[in-house]
Structure 1
Amino acid sequence: MAKQPGKDNFTRNLVIAVVVGVLLIMLVPTLLSRQTDSSASIPANVSADRGYGVVFNGELTGVPVVDIYEDFQCPVCAQFTQLNGPYIESLIAEKKATVVYHTLSFLGPESVNAANAAACSADEGKFLDFHRLLMMNQKQENSGAWDNTFLASLGQTAGITSQKFSSCVNKGEYVGWVSNVAAAGAKANVNSTPTVFV
């Protein structure tokens, strides 16, 4: 018995339509996540031109640029900071490199909370201290431990005593910026942490 040409065409077209539909479902969120919000509040020392990262020694020329992409809940990021943090901080202090920290939020809402609080610490000139404390005090992913009360107390440990910091943390002042960092990371094809470019 011969195959019916109309039925073969229908099946082929149906398969193509399903494949295209699945691809669209997968690609649309990715494309939307690559959009930045130009109206988002931006913390101190951040450059939109540098992927919305927190920049140290951005004024230097002729030195290496180190871009560090990390998530504060990422265990390997904590290990990376433990092993390399002192060296990276010495590069900053000795003005031997421009260092850009990109605080991503792959691992969930507590990553967003921590990145927002880190941005608040940048306004206080305490980003490196706060960054170090976040990595040293890492908790189980999304366990509820990194709430605003804990993050504000960590700020006090870092020497941040201003009401402005606590207010910034509690209001989520830089959540839009955190989204911009994620979008810029996606544009840079960063899909895991830590990722370092020199």
Structure 2
Amino acid sequence: MTDSDSDDQQNGAPSGSSRGQRRAAARAKAQAARQRQKARARRGRWAIQGALGLVIIAVIVGIVLVVTQSVRPEGPGPANMAGDGITIGRDFKAVPADAQSASAAPSPTTTAAAADTVKISVYLDYLCPICGSFGATNNEYIKGLVESGAATVDYHPIAILTNQSLGTKYSQRAANAAACVATYSPDAFFDFNTAMFAKQPKEGTAGLTDAAILTLIKGVPKITQTDSIARCISDKTYVPWVVSATQRALDGPIAGSSIGKVQGTPTVLVNGQEYKATTPFTTAEFSNFVVTAAGNSYSDTATSSATPTPTKK
């Protein structure tokens, strides 16, 4: 033992070995504290990384859902509109046609009419004021041709003025209602179409509510299955078809016609030839165009046989 150690012990001071032990213990405690701190830091990083991982997974799932919903196949389109239009023949009977996918390319209806039967096709928007004017001028003339069997008329409801009704999407809703009528009460479609334009709202207004459209429909004497039509309107069953059919018309081609695509409404075709009208419309001008388009196979005073139901291939 050294003199200094002896002195420390005599004075009650800790020996050098005791001080060393305490220093070692302090170092051990400090090291343990640092390890605990590092462990907490690692756990914090893991928690952050885990949370980020969950966020990334949620984002990926969200993207997948959006993509899946955007590319999912749509439900069926309306019945009797396989070519994106309903064909009305003699005695105002609709030519039957199977439903197709709302997003499918239109397959033209094969209306095997008599040789002297004219095919009139009308692309219309129920908010379009010019469509209303064309109908007001020529509806009775077309009605006479169809009633006698001298012509058939195809109606193609589209919605190019959806954003012109103060946010209510009247054009789209009206075209959906037309698809509902075509599906559940097709033989009343001519009268429904006439009634819709008789109550046509002005462009730039909110248009008719769904309830008002349904009231109008119930006022058409030939309408049947009004409960099914009401659900169809309320559920907006055929809105996806309206959107797709409108885009198809605007993109073209228009099968069996002289035009590549629809550029506005009304677009009126007679035997595939576009009626380029002057305004104001006159029945004389349209009837002359019908005769010209039909050529030698037709005169507007002719009587033809009834339009036969197309043969399914």
Shorter-chain TM range is 0.7 to 0.9
Partner Cα distance (1:82, 1:129) in 2: 13
**Residue 174 of structure 1 corresponds to which residue in structure 2?**
238
Residue aligning to 1:21:
none
Instruction: Provide the rounded CA distance (Å) in 2 between the counterparts of 1:55 and 1:183.
Output: 20
Question: Match of 1:46, SS?
Answer: coil
| Aligned residue number for residue 80 of structure 2 | 45
For residues 231 and 157 of structure 2, the distance between their equivalents in structure 1, rounded to whole angstroms, comes to 20
Larger deviation, residues 112-121 vs 87-96: 87-96
1:60 aligns with 2:113: yes
What is the alpha-carbon distance in structure 1 between the residues aligned to residue 229 and residue 204 of structure 2? 23
Matching of residue 91 in structure 1 with residue 150 in structure 2: no
Give 1:144's aligned residue.
206
Measured in 1, the distance between the counterparts of 2:73 and 2:121 equals: 22
Residue in 2 that maps onto 1:7 = none
Distance in 2 (alpha carbons) for counterparts of 1:96 and 1:184: 29
Q: Using the aligned pairs only, state the percent identity.
A: 30
Whether 2:195 is the aligned partner of 1:133: answer yes
- Distance of aligned partners of 1:64 and 1:180 in 2 relative to their CA distance in 1, 3 Å threshold: farther
Q: Distance in 2 between matches of 1:56 and 1:175?
A: 22
CA gap 1:38/1:97 in 2 versus in 1, 3 angstroms: farther
Q: Does 1:124 align with 2:197?
A: no
Unaligned runs of 5+ in 2: 1-71, 90-110, 163-168, 255-260, 271-313
The 3-state SS of whatever aligns with 2:205 is coil
Per the normalisation by structure 2, the TM-score is: 0.47
Deviation digits for residues 106-150 of structure 1 (CA, Å, limit 9, x no counterpart): 101210111111111222132111111110111122522322111
Q: In structure 1, the residue corresponding to 2:200 is in which secondary structure? A: coil
Report matched runs for 1:18-29 at 5 Å: none
Match of 1:110 among 141, 157, 170: 170
Q: Is the 8 A contact 1:45 1:56 kept in 2?
A: no
Give the partner amino acid of 2:203. E
Q: Against the structure 1 CA distance between its residues 118 and 95, is the aligned structure 2 distance closer, same or farther, given a 3 Å change threshold?
A: same
Unaligned stretches of 5+ residues in structure 1: 1-36
Change (3 A) 1:45 1:91: farther
Hey, what's the Cα distance between the residues in 2 that align with 1:38 and 1:74? 30
Q: Deviations over 1:69-112 (max 9, x none)?
A: 11100111111111111111222221112311111111012101
Work out the CA distance in 2 between the residues paired with 1:184 and 1:89.
Answer: 28
Distance 1:131 1:38, change over 3 A: farther
2:216 aligns with 154
Q: Distance in 1 between matches of 2:150 and 2:220?
A: 25
SS of residue in 2 equivalent to 1:47: coil
**Structure 1 residue 79 corresponds to structure 2 residue 162:** no
Alpha-carbon distance in 2 for matches of 1:38, 1:99: 30
| 1:173–1:179 Cα change, 3 Å | same
Deviation at 1:46, TM superposition (A): 1.4
State the TM-score, normalized to the length of structure 1.
0.73
The separation in 1 between residues aligned to 2:157 and 2:132, in whole angstroms, is: 13
Shift of 1:185: 1.3
* Number of equivalences: 159
Aligned position for 2:262 = 190
Matched residue of 1:100: which SS?
strand
Cα contact 1:53–1:181 (8 A) shared by 2: no
Given that 1:110 and 1:142 are in contact with CA atoms closer than 8 Å, whether structure 2 keeps it comes out as no
Decide which structure has greater strand share.
Answer: 1
C-alpha contact 1:64 1:98 (8 A) present in aligned 2:
yes
State whether residues 119 and 153 of structure 2, in contact with CA within 8 Å, keep that contact through their aligned partners in structure 1.
Answer: yes
Query: 1:16 maps to what in 2?
Result: none
